[in-house]
Amino acid sequence: MDIDNKARVHWACRRGMRELDISIMPFFDHDYDGLCTEDKKLFIRLLECDDPDLFNWLMNHGEPADDGLKKMINLIQQRNKARGPLAM
């Protein structure tokens, strides 16, 4: 997926699981444009993971073995926490 094709990245963010949408969509809406190219690539790699894995990682029920994906999970959690629960 092309990191500059925002419509396609936005579509990939929509997971169909409310808990994932609540975590991923605000990050995309508020933070994606400000990411460096490498972090955009990491975010897209993360979106290619299976929903059960994403759910577990974002809910702190485990972590990815890949350090890059671990970094992106932490960044999403930090940014979402800083925005607060009503930032959707």
pLDDT of residue 85: 66
Gap between the Cα atoms of 72 and 52, Å rounded: 17
Condensed to tens digits (0 to 9), the pLDDT of residues 17-73 reads 888 999 999 999 999 999 999 999 999 999 999 999 999 999 999 999 999 999 999
CATH of the domain at 61: 1.10.150.250
pLDDT of residue 11: 92
CA angle 6, 15, 45 (to 5 degrees): 60
**Domains held by the chain: number:** 1
Give the structural domain span for 44.
6-83
Flag whether 1 is in a domain.
no
Query: For the residues 4-16, what does the mean pLDDT come to?
Result: 90
Flag whether 44 is in a domain.
yes
What pTM value is reported for the model? 0.88
pLDDT of residue 87: 52
Flag whether 71 is in a domain.
yes
Flag whether 59 is in a domain.
yes
